[in-house]
Amino acid sequence: MWWLTTKRNSLQAVAAAICVFTWGAQAKAQVQHTPVPEQPSLAPQLEIDGSGIATLEGRFPEHNAPGGGKISTSRINFSDSSLVIGASQRLYRGGGIGSLVLGVTTSDNSLNSTGTGLFLHQAYLDYATNPLEAVIGRTDVPTQLITFPTLRGDDLVEFTGVLDPFSSGGNVQEHRYSNQVAVTFNKNLRYFLNLHAQHLIDSTGAGGDQTGINSYGATFMYQGAPVLADMERVPQWGVGVEEQEIPGSKGGADTALYGGVVWNIKSDPIDRFDLRFQDTYTTGNSLKTFGDIADTYRAAANSAAMSFRYLHSPFGRPAYQVALTLGLRTYQNVPNSSSFAIALTGVKRLGEGFDLIAQYSYQHWASAGAAVFGGPDNNTIQLGFAYNFTDTFNQHIAPRRSLLSLQHQYIPE
Amino acid sequence: MSNLSRRSVIGSLLAGGTAAVLGTSATDARSQGTAYNGYNRPLPADWSIPFDPSATRPTWYPRNLPTPGEVIHEYNIEVILTPHEILPMAHFPAYTYNGTVPGPELRVREGDWVKVNLLNKTHDFHTIHWHGVDVKCEMDGVPFSTQYPVGYNQTFQYLFRAQPAGTHFYHCHQMTNLHVQAGLYGAIIIESAVDPVKQQFPYTRDYTMVLSEVDTAFVEAQINDMELMGTQMDYMSRSPEMMAKMSGEMMGWFASKEAFMSAIKSGWIPPYASSVAGKFRQIQPNFFMINGKSYPMAEHIRIKRGELIRIRLIGAGMMPHFMHLHGHNFWHVCQDGAPLQCPVQMNTIPVFPGTTCDIIVEGTNPGNWHFHDHSDLCLTNNGASPGGMMTMLMYDDAAAEGFTFPEVLTLNS
């Protein structure tokens, strides 16, 4: 019995036994088997990250939602808000760190009938030492190189990264998170080589409702010291290749080649002006028409996204930001199918992590896309607030890419 | 603990002339000292113990400069960021003077000149404050008060006459709560040609024990923040355009109270405001050290039956420590460098922050004896007992005197 295996904490065992007796069903439901149950638990370092974003939103004209139905022309949108809890502890030797991360995000399910739900977007275990990091579970897709300054991470997602060809599009988060096993090797915590295999979430059943590996690849990325992100001319760049095992009935396998860069046009601690760019080229899939929205994710295409961002930080502290993000997607084999998008985003900082936000975005589809999306154009206006916080309890482990680690390779025991 | 006077002295310079000249100069300087500082109040009739009210006067006028023939000891001291090992598998990122915690011990004769070339190899700011030494004001090492702090790759030259005689120490006065915890402290021993302690107690061995404590998580996080800011500034300093954007507000530096108030009116938020600082996490030291090491790694003190030894205790940290010697009484002979009016017999001596206490131990009781802080919190290593601020008084001739119990190292009792 699990509650009797903890030899040290007899009081806890008694209390746990009472709980099981009184509320047996709930208590048992919470208990998980541990492989070495006699080991006492070490109080880990706990980190809580929260991100809330809520906007009043207007969309016009009305158009189709992925999976059928119509998208509302107005709504109160709190999708892409998340809460993540991480627990970490030092391992016996070599400065190793073991971590567990669990998190949920509100999903962008825009149908009138279903509204917004919760999506488990982080559930993984992480083993990190100085030269490598290994991850198993669900987390951000490793193909996402560049973060663009739109309000939500899923804004303009068709242009900003490698898409999930198995997704129905009903939950846009499926493009951003996957089940994966990955190993990342680094040099001086600045150059990263990530080798990974993924199960991209298959909400269309295109993969035969299987849960196996359906995508694999590698990325190589440079990331400068975070402290110099607004000063180095090129603080970040990366390239990657991904093989997606799309069944022949859906046009066949895709190979994605992608690369991105962040370029500081004006390196300045007070008035920063930067450019972000990512291009994703997929080839191999032979779809020549769009039967539904899901086909737009898997047909061979070239997507490019670019943003210009101005950040004003008097006294070295961010005050406001204005950004223009552009996207263009063209399909090799589908005629009259290109689309483009533009987003103008403004953020006014009201307090630490708390912002007043606004965004206007416009997306256009040529006739092939217009047919499945229900129209050639979409305008979206949003106004609201965003709040981000992070806190660490029982702190005894420095961030992996802290300046001490970067400059001095300092990972203490 | 290293002794810089033996190891790293660049040279003891005679600026010219002979010993006779030296004597003449010193005499002149002394007379100058008494000339500016003359008070000769009569002793109160009811003062029970006679004392010399002029004893606090500097022997030499501190604002004088070296004259030909006077001895100048020159030292190079570099501030280096390096991991410091308190114990095996217990490290923290330390700011160090010349790579050690504590920094090198300086040992000079009273009246000699000390020239220290400080070179800062970290991205933070530093100084050296000569605690207990009657230096001239510009040599006192207080940033923005007596000097500008020393930045990355910058140097500052300290020059002062070593006075008064006794046990003193030096430490960084920039962000003292961090920099002293982080390791920037060391002993400076000014030896008198006519030491009353030596005359009364002809000791044969002389030990220095610098007492301090550290909250390793606090130090690691704070050094990272400071290095982060400093790295940004150093990067900016390569560009005149960016440096032109630097302002006092970015660093929290103001020329006057009026400038400070003006900045607040213009929207600058001070770093202690709850809107940017939240609530400060209290510093909670988890390692307690003697000369940078905790039990069982602190160096032992050696003695023989019948021998007199001198121990110089320096309270370099932020906490009081109550040093208790088992099996012996000892004489408290000096406080803050100065001989007491009358030695005091003790077996536990409080060493408060910023103070020094010299004691004389006589080898009267052969064996291996604990010498430790009696504030029990400080007898732990990261919460594990025994540990912390403890060492051993070991008799060289214990076995010969019939004590044969082996030294047993306990790390978990």
Tens-level pLDDT at each residue, chain B (413 residues): 444 443 333 334 333 333 333 333 333 444 344 433 444 555 556 667 777 888 899 999 999 999 999 999 999 999 999 999 999 989 999 999 999 999 999 999 999 999 999 999 999 999 999 999 999 999 999 999 999 999 999 999 999 999 999 999 999 999 999 999 999 999 999 999 999 999 999 999 999 999 999 999 999 988 988 888 888 888 888 888 777 777 777 778 888 899 999 989 988 888 888 888 887 778 999 999 999 999 999 999 999 999 999 999 999 999 999 999 999 999 999 999 999 989 999 999 999 999 999 999 999 999 999 999 999 899 999 999 999 999 999 999 999 999 988 878 777 76
Query: Which residues of chain B are within 8 Å of residue A402 when distances are taken between CB atoms?
Result: 224
Q: In terms of Cα–Cα distance, which of B100, B127, B130 is closest to B113?
A: B130
- pLDDT given for residue A266 in this prediction: 87
Comparing alpha-carbon positions, the chain B residue that sits nearest to A233 is B235
Task: Please name which of B170, B394, B389, B186 lies closest in space to residue B290, comparing C-alpha atoms.
Answer: B389
Residue A160 tokens, joined: 């900003």
* The two structure tokens encoding residue A168: 């129905």
Task: Assess contact for A337 and A368: CB atoms under 8 A.
Answer: yes
* pLDDT tier for residue A170 given thresholds of 50, 70 and 90: confident
Beta strands in B98-171 (DSSP E): 106-109, 113-120, 129-131, 155-161, 166-171
Instruction: Please state, in angstroms and rounded to a whole number, the distance separating the CA atoms of residues B412 and B371.
Output: 19
User: CA–CA separation, B142 vs B130, rounded Å?
Assistant: 10
CB contact under 8 A, A404 and B220: yes
Q: Measure the CA–CA gap between B336 and B133, rounded to whole angstroms.
A: 10
Q: Do B250 and A413 touch (CB under 8 A)?
A: no
Highest mean pLDDT of the ranges A36-40, A252-256, A314-318, B277-281: A252-256
Q: d(Cα A311, Cα A271) in Å, to the nearest integer?
A: 6
Between A227, A268, A396, which is nearest B228 by CB? A227
Q: Per residue in B380-390, is it b (16+ CB within 10 Å) or e — as a string?
A: bbeeeebbbbb
**Mean pLDDT value across residues A19-30:** 41
* Rounded distance between C-alpha atoms, residue A14 and residue B136, angstroms: 68
**Residue A271's closest chain B neighbor by CA?**
B245
Out of B224, B236, B267, the one facing A269 most closely (by C-beta) is: B236
Contacts of B93 in chain A (CB under 8 A): 404, 408, 410, 412
Q: Give the number of beta-carbon pairs within 8 Å between A and B.
A: 73
Predicted local distance difference test score (pLDDT) of residue A357: 96
pLDDT at B117: 98
- Interchain contact, B227 vs A228, CB within 8 Å: no
Q: Each residue of A333-360: pLDDT tens digit?
A: 999 999 999 999 999 999 988 999 999 9
Distance in angstroms (rounded) separating the CA atoms of residues B310 and B181 = 26
Residue of chain B minimizing CA distance to A402: B224
Q: HSE of A286 in the Cβ direction (CA atoms, 13 Å)?
A: 5
pLDDT of A6 strictly over 70: no
| pLDDT value at residue B12 | 41
Residue A61, preceding peptide bond in cis (omega within 30° of 0): yes
- Mutation site for A-interface testing, chosen from B235, B246, B275, B282 by largest number of A Cβ within 10 Å: B235
Nearest CA in chain B to A352: B276
CATH 2.40.160.10 occupies which residues in chain A? 42-408
Nearest to residue B162, comparing CAs of B135, B194, B127? B135
Name the residue facing B224 among A232, A316, A404 (closest C-beta).
A404
Looking at the complex, report in whole angstroms how far the Cα of residue A411 sits from the nearest Cα belonging to chain B.
9
Give B79's DSSP letter.
E
Token representation of residue B209: 């024990």
The closest CB to that of A352, out of B81, B249, B276, belongs to B276
Residue A257: what residue type?
Answer: L
| Count of beta carbons in the 10 Å neighbourhood of residue A164 | 31
The SS3 call for residue A3 is helix
- Determine the 3-state secondary structure of A202 from DSSP: coil
pLDDT value at residue A345: 96
Contacts B92 to A, Cβ<8 Å: 412
Q: Calculate the average pLDDT of chain A.
A: 85
Q: Which amino acid is at B295?
A: Y
Instruction: Give me the pLDDT at residue B45, please.
Output: 60
The torsion angle over the Cα atoms of residues B246, B251, B256 and B257, rounded to 10 degrees, is 130
Taking residue A10's Cβ as centre, other Cβ atoms within 10 Å add up to 10
Using CA atoms, how far apart are residues B67 and A386, in angstroms rounded to an integer? 68
Q: B245 vs A269: CB contact, 8 Å cut-off?
A: yes
Q: Are strands B113-120 and B71-87 parallel, antiparallel or unpaired?
A: parallel
Q: How confident is the model at residue A408 (pLDDT cuts 50, 70, 90)?
A: low
Considering only residues B168 and A108, tell me which one the structure prediction assigns the higher pLDDT: B168
Q: Are B374 and B280 in contact (CB under 8 A)?
A: no
**Predicted pLDDT at A412:** 42
Q: What is the mean pLDDT of residues A8-18?
A: 37
Domain B4-37+55-194 has CATH 2.60.40.420: yes
CB atoms within 10 A of CB B247: 14
Alpha-carbon distance of A265 to A323, in angstroms, equals: 14
Query: How many CA atoms does the CB half-sphere of A238 hold within 13 Å?
Result: 25
Whose tokens are 């103001």? That residue is B254
**Which residues of chain A lie closer than 8 angstroms to B224, CB-CB?**
398, 402-404
Tokens for B34?
């008494």
CA count, 13 A, side-chain hemisphere, B337: 23
The alpha carbon of residue A154 is apart from the nearest alpha carbon of chain B, in Å, by 29
Nearest to B227 among A269, A403, A412 (CB): A403
A352 neighbourhood in chain B, CB within 8 Å: 275-276
Q: Which residues lie below 8 Å from residue B144, measured CB to CB, with a gap of 6+?
A: B253
Question: CA-CA distance, B210 to B196, in Å (whole number)?
Answer: 23
With CB atoms and an 8 Å threshold, state whether A412 touches B220: yes
Query: Mind telling me how many Å the CA of A42 is from chain B's nearest CA?
Result: 13
What count of other Cβ atoms lies within 10 Å of the Cβ of residue B347?
A: 13
Whether A404 sits inside 8 A of B223 (CB atoms) is yes
Counting beta carbons within 10 angstroms of the beta carbon of residue B111, is it exposed (0 to 12), middle (13 to 18) or buried (19 or more)? buried
Helix spans in A39-194 (H): 157-160
- Note the pLDDT tens digit of each residue in A285-310: 999 999 999 999 999 999 999 999 99
**β-strand pairing of B106-109 with B185-191:** parallel
The neighbouring-strand residues paired with B166 are B190
Nearest to B275 among A231, A352, A408 (CB): A352
How confident is the model at residue A303, as a pLDDT? 97
- For the whole model, what pTM was predicted? 0.81
Smallest CA–CA distance, residue A346 to chain B, in Å, is 21
> Looking at the predicted structure, is the pLDDT value of residue A368 above 50?
yes
For chain B, give every domain's residue range: 4-37+55-194, 205-215+287-395, 217-277
Specify the pLDDT at position A71.
74
Superfamily (CATH) of domain B205-215+287-395: Cupredoxins -  blue copper proteins (2.60.40.420)
Quick check: A313 pLDDT over 90?
no
Report the pLDDT value the prediction gives residue A169, as an integer from 0 to 100.
84
Spatial separation of the C-alpha atoms in residues B281 and A396, rounded to whole Å = 13
Identify which has the larger pLDDT, B186 or A374. B186
Record: contact A225-B239, CB cut-off 8 A? no
Closest CA in chain B for residue A406 = B224
Contacts of A395 in chain B (CB under 8 A): 217, 221
Contact between chains at A395 and B276 (C-beta distance less than 8 A): no
Per-residue pLDDT, B230? 83
Task: Closest CB to A412: pick one of B83, B221, B228.
Answer: B83
Four-way CATH pick for A42-408: 2.40.160.10, 3.40.50.720, 3.30.70.580, 2.60.40.10: 2.40.160.10
Total residue count of chain A as it appears in this document = 413
Using the predicted structure, report yes or no on whether residue A246 has a pLDDT greater than 70: yes
Q: Which residues contact B182 (CB under 8 A, 6 or more apart)?
A: B92, B93, B94, B95, B214, B219, B222, B223
Q: How far apart are CA A255 and CA A218, in angstroms?
A: 12
Residues A285, A171: contact at Cβ < 8 Å? no
Chain B residues interacting with chain A (CB cutoff of 8 angstroms): 81-83, 89-93, 216-217, 220-221, 223-224, 227-228, 231-232, 235-236, 239, 241-242, 245, 247, 249-250, 267-269, 275-276
Chain A contact set for B216 (CB, 8 A): 396, 412
Task: Specify whether the CB–CB gap between A283 and A254 falls below 8 A.
Answer: yes
- B275 contacts in chain A (CB < 8 Å): 351-352
DSSP readout, A27-47? HHHH----SSTTSPPPPPEEE
**Nearest C-alpha neighbor of B21 from the set B67, B72, B74:** B67
Strands B71-87 and B90-97 come out as antiparallel
- For B185-329, strand residue ranges (E) read 185-191, 205-214, 287-290, 301-303, 308-315, 321-325
pLDDT for res A3: 27
Q: Cβ of A315 and B268 within 8 Å?
A: yes
Residues in chain B within 8 Å Cβ distance of A270? 245
Q: What is the three-class DSSP state of B240?
A: helix
Q: Poorest-confidence range of A256-260, A399-403, B164-168?
A: A399-403
Tell me the per-residue pLDDT of B14-53, one tens digit each, with 9 for 90 and over: 333 333 333 333 334 443 444 334 445 555 566 677 778 8
Report the 10 Å Cβ neighbour count for B46.
Answer: 5
